[in-house]
Chains A and B, each alone.
Chain A
């Protein structure tokens, strides 16, 4: 993790490594980074909150991101998103109470040819519909409970 030579400019790279290892950035991690790279805690926090990609809260067991790019918008991504919000009672950026599912939105997955698109646990699913995405989510969450 420290292969960038503890230089202050390695801040973003370091935060990436932490997030990919632990799933999110908690306060002790941010303070540790601040100490190691000689960057003030305020600046570390500033960078961590500036970029949408960094998560400061633990994520659910499964994670669903709905693409809100232009092509997806034109093809009805807002309805897909609204349905999941309603079904699971969470808004983008939130996790269900049982910790099963986190809902996120992304700006563009670059899968516009397959709009509307979403990712479920890192796997890109193209041409989703309100029903098909919900079904996929049910499949993964029910599978765990069985």
Chain B
């Protein structure tokens, strides 16, 4: 009989932006000043409640007909939704002005399509934060010749609530281990949602 806990999945609090190159930016408000790549720039939300995302912008062929801006998302942040308007203000060296974009679903991480996920704890060892900002919690497990982890991807995690998040996941894991035949439900701190569970 399996031991597991239940995670309610939700995208109500929004999603992080997907890391990597993101096309479709409106460049009409930006002027390329030189070829090169900016340092990570904060992505500012004009609408919606997303925050924390960062991107670099590379300018190539400045002043030529083929002049191009390439935006690479380096930090996904939290709380973004399709339809949100975001902008990237130039650093004054590589470019000036603003690049703007209306986010679509492809710009965001892909959430789990289920409403709930079952997380088995039969081989679990312990839980740990994937990063200091509590963007995810990993539950490590070992089996012969396999060292894997279940990753719970979160929206609303910050360095301030990271401890509470980790203790909440630890509590769910412990209850599932100690109470076979029951499926405890993970209770996350207020404002924190889980949008994906995956075995890594």
A and B, one complex? Answer: no
A residues adjacent to B (C-beta < 8 A): none
B residues adjacent to A (C-beta < 8 A): none
